[in-house]
Structure 1
Amino acid sequence: MVDAMTLMEVGGPVAATVGGAAYLRASHPAAYWSTIGLPVSTVRLLGSYGSVMDSCGLTVPPSRLRVWATRALTHREVRPVPPRRGMIRPTSTGLRLRLRLAPGQEPADVAASAERLRHAWGVHAVHVSVVKPGVVELRLVGYDVLRKVRMPRGDGGGFLRVPVALREDATPFVRDYRTVPHQLTLGATLSGKSMFLRHLIAGLARQPVALVGIDCKRGVELAPFAPRLSALATDPTQAAALLPALIGLMEERYDLIKARQGIALDTPNEEITSDIWGLPDDERPVPVVLFVDEVAELFLVATRKDEERRDEMVTQLIRLAQLGRAAGIYLEVCGQRFGAELGKGATMLRAQLSGRVCHRVNDEASAKMALGDIAPEAVGAACAIAPELPGLAVAGDTSGGWSRIRTPYLSLGDAAAVCREYVHLVPDLPALDPFRPAMPARAASAPEASPKSVPVLD
């Protein structure tokens, strides 16, 4: 009886602690990491750093001076030297530390051992980035940050910069139009492509930019954001009229740039520019972001007349993609597929869209359309996205780098409310006034029902 009571007194709290930790890890991974995972992983890293580096092949033979000093002063066995470790910096999602590589090592050596380091230190993932020559940073992620996305605080983006998703290394994925002017976003139905678009529009709606939309699905995707849009086309006929207006706007801006360029000999070099960003603030036109939802609808034709209109629209889109950056006009093209089978000009237009985001697709060919020509290794990752993870995508760039990202949930009503709140930021662009969407009238409040008369009883 005494043994049973002792077992209950000791085993009960232990079982409760273990069960609570397991529940916390499964349901609230961020809280589990902050309370249990962080100290455990830190102790494990500090205690096994040298042996882990040696087993991963990241050590080098010591210098002759080090060998002589070790034998003369300590009489201990001389061991291989691991990379010099910097201070460990804990974060809300993991750990960060810098390593100074030994002579003869390169960052690729550390990146090749990332999976071994992950298992050795008991973390979810290890990411390696180069800080400067000879110094790399290890970002240890304690749990799967893409399972339940929480965007980091304090990153408001900036002008023409919108944080729209979270990377798998717990850093924000920022859509920067100054760095990547044009982008292609592909994804199947219910893959999260529309959620990505909502975040972009809601983020840009707070900035002094002009938003233009082409939504040939009768406006079901972009119509809720009409209060903040400067122009909206909801079918190919309207798009065929809107695109020439954008071409004319681009040509006017080029005329403004040429008029400002070094005409006189005494013009300072800093006043000579090749884009709108070199113009004075009072002369610089407002940037324009063109959203094209379901781009395949612009390519599909049924008659000979439609084919001529299609060729003209595709040519105008290609011109905007080639020349729009200098004029402050940026493209955001979305669709389910974007291959050569759409027709003439599809491949040429896709080549101008340097930014690529691929959500879940229905076949490997669609993933190759998005990522095959810039990051072939990312095609397999895009094909492995499960339907149970909407918003998960693979983002690549022309440098060959790629990463997994996931967009947090944003309801359509919240995104539309942001557009209504910042309707005063719609710029004055006379060339786009004919295409300005009509503001939906608010439903009149129903008149209050008159109270029924109640007979007075004596």
Structure 2
Amino acid sequence: MTDLTTLLEVGGPVAALGGGAAYARAKRPGIYWSTVGLPISTVRLLSSYGSVMEACGLTVAPSRLRVLAVKATTRREVRSVPPRRGIVRPTSTGLRVRLRLAPGQEPADVAASAERLRHAWGVHAVYVTTVKPGVVELRLVGFDVLRKVRMPRKLHPDLLRVPVALREDATPFVRDYRTVPHQLTLGATLSGKSMYLRHLVTGLARQPVALVGIDCKRGVELAPFAPRLSALATDPEQAAELLPVLIKEMEDRYDLIKDRQGIAPSTPDEKITSDIWGLPEHERPVPVVLFVDEVAELFLVATKKDEERRDEMVTQLIRLAQLGRAAGIYLEVCGQRFGAELGKGATMLRAQLTGRVCHRVNDEASAKMALGDIAPEAVSAACAIAPERPGLAVAGDTSGGWSRIRTPYLSLDDAAETCREWAHLVPDLPALKPFRPDVPVPPTAETPGPLVWPRPVTD
């Protein structure tokens, strides 16, 4: 009886801890990492750093001075020298440590061994970034952060900078219109493209920015955000009327910039500008972000009569993509399919869209159209996105870099409520007033009746 009692007293808590750890690892990976994974991985890294670096071929021969010092003070074998390790800094999702490379090493050597380091230290992934010449940072991610996305709490959104997703290395993916003015976003039905668009709209709704939408699906995607939109076109006919107005607005802004440049020779050079951001704040026009959903609908024509209108709209979009950045007009082009077969101007328009985000697509050609010209190796990553993970995408830009991202869930009701809350920030642009969408007035609650109904008094 005593042995059974002892077994229950010792084995019960051990079984409970083991079961709790297994549950946390499956359902709450963040908690499991903070309590179990972080200490274990830290001990593994500190205890096996030298041997792991040597096994990965990341060591160099010691200097002659080091060899003489070791032989003079000890009798142990002189071993090769690994990169100098900095302080291990824990995070809520992993570890970070900086390495000072030895002479003759380069960051590509460490990046090539990332998979070996992952297995040696028992983490989910290892990412290598260059901090400065001779110094790299290892970012160890303890679990799959894209399985259930939780955006970092400390985000610093700025004008035209919107954190919309989480990268696979646990850093936020920020859509920065000042750096990447125009972007192409592709995704099949139920791939998460609409969720990505919701985060963009709600992030920009809180900023002093004019939002303009072209939604040729009769407005089903952008109409819920009508209280915050300055203009909305819901079919190709309305789009054909809206785009020339944006072109005229762009030309007026260029005239304003040129007038500002035509100043006295004695004016300092720092006051001469080539875009709206160099203008004084009281003269600077409000930035405009144009969302184009289902861009293929602008290219498709049913009759010969519509072909001329299509060519005009495509030409205007290309002009906005080429010249709009300096005027503070930015494009966010979305669609399920985008290819050269859409017609004249499709490839030229794509070439002006610096940013690329590709969700799950139905064919490899769409992934190649989005990413093939900037990062061919990212095409296979985009084609491997499973339908069970909506919101997962591959993001890249014309610099050749790419990464996997995933947007957190945001309901349509919450996004629409955010737009209603910030509707007072809609800027005054007279040219866009004819295209301002009608905002339905929410039904008012009926006045409740009395709690006690009177009864007639009878004699």
Both structures adopt the same fold (TM-score exceeding 0.5) = yes
What interval of TM-score do these two structures reach, taking the shorter chain for normalisation? over 0.9
**What's the secondary structure of 1:151's corresponding residue?**
coil
Distance in 1, matches of 2:454 and 2:306, equals: 65
CA contact (8 A) 1:337 1:369 kept: no
Number of residue pairs matched?
A: 458
Paired residues for 1:112-191 under 5 Å = 112-191=112-191
Residue 442 of structure 1, CA deviation: 2.0
2:200 corresponds to which residue? Answer: 200
**What's the secondary structure of 1:395's corresponding residue?**
strand
Aligned partner letter, 1:49? Y
**What's the secondary structure of 2:158's corresponding residue?**
coil
Distance in 2, matches of 1:213 and 1:260, equals: 30
Paired residues for 1:14-413 under 5 Å = 14-413=14-413
Residue 457 of structure 1, CA deviation: 8.1
Mean Cα deviation higher: 103-112 or 264-273: 264-273
Residue 4 of structure 1, CA deviation: 4.1
Distance in 1, matches of 2:404 and 2:458, equals: 75
Mean Cα deviation higher: 358-367 or 173-182: 358-367
2:429 corresponds to which residue? Answer: 429
Distance in 2, matches of 1:213 and 1:173, equals: 23
Residue 262 of structure 1, CA deviation: 4.5
Distance in 2, matches of 1:221 and 1:38, equals: 42
Distance in 1, matches of 2:267 and 2:33, equals: 59
Mean Cα deviation higher: 386-395 or 260-269: 260-269
Residue 100 of structure 1, CA deviation: 0.2
Aligned partner letter, 1:218? R
**What's the secondary structure of 2:147's corresponding residue?**
coil
Aligned partner letter, 1:378? A
**What's the secondary structure of 1:290's corresponding residue?**
strand
Measured against aligned partners, the alpha-carbon deviations of 1:383-424 in whole angstroms (never above 9, x if no partner) come to: 111111111100011111100000001111111111111111
Distance in 1, matches of 2:267 and 2:436, equals: 39
Residue 453 of structure 1, CA deviation: 6.5
Mean Cα deviation higher: 446-455 or 208-217: 446-455
Give ranges in structure 2 of 5+ residues lacking alignment.
none
Distance in 2, matches of 1:408 and 1:444, equals: 32
Aligned partner letter, 1:80? S
CA contact (8 A) 1:355 1:396 kept: yes
Distance in 1, matches of 2:214 and 2:454, equals: 55
Distance in 2, matches of 1:393 and 1:70, equals: 52
Measured against aligned partners, the alpha-carbon deviations of 1:422-443 in whole angstroms (never above 9, x if no partner) come to: 1111111111111011121222
Residue 70 of structure 1, CA deviation: 0.6
> What is the TM-score of this pair, normalised by structure 2?
0.97
1:12 corresponds to which residue? Answer: 12
Measured against aligned partners, the alpha-carbon deviations of 1:97-125 in whole angstroms (never above 9, x if no partner) come to: 00000000000000000010001000111
Residue 447 of structure 1, CA deviation: 5.4
Distance in 2, matches of 1:217 and 1:84, equals: 57
Distance in 2, matches of 1:404 and 1:457, equals: 79
Aligned partner letter, 1:100? R
Residue 154 of structure 1, CA deviation: 1.7
Aligned partner letter, 2:264? A
User: CA distance change for structure 1 residues 11 and 308 in 2, over 3 Å: closer, same or farther?
Assistant: same
Residue 263 of structure 1, CA deviation: 3.9
Measured against aligned partners, the alpha-carbon deviations of 1:287-310 in whole angstroms (never above 9, x if no partner) come to: 000000010111111111111100
**What's the secondary structure of 2:164's corresponding residue?**
strand
Residue 281 of structure 1, CA deviation: 0.8
Aligned partner letter, 2:54? D
> RMSD of aligned C-alpha atoms?
1.4
Residue 17 of structure 1, CA deviation: 1.6
Aligned partner letter, 1:402? W
Distance in 2, matches of 1:262 and 1:71, equals: 75
Aligned partner letter, 2:257? I
Measured against aligned partners, the alpha-carbon deviations of 1:17-65 in whole angstroms (never above 9, x if no partner) come to: 2111111111110001111111111011000000000000000010000
Aligned partner letter, 2:288? V
**What's the secondary structure of 1:9's corresponding residue?**
helix
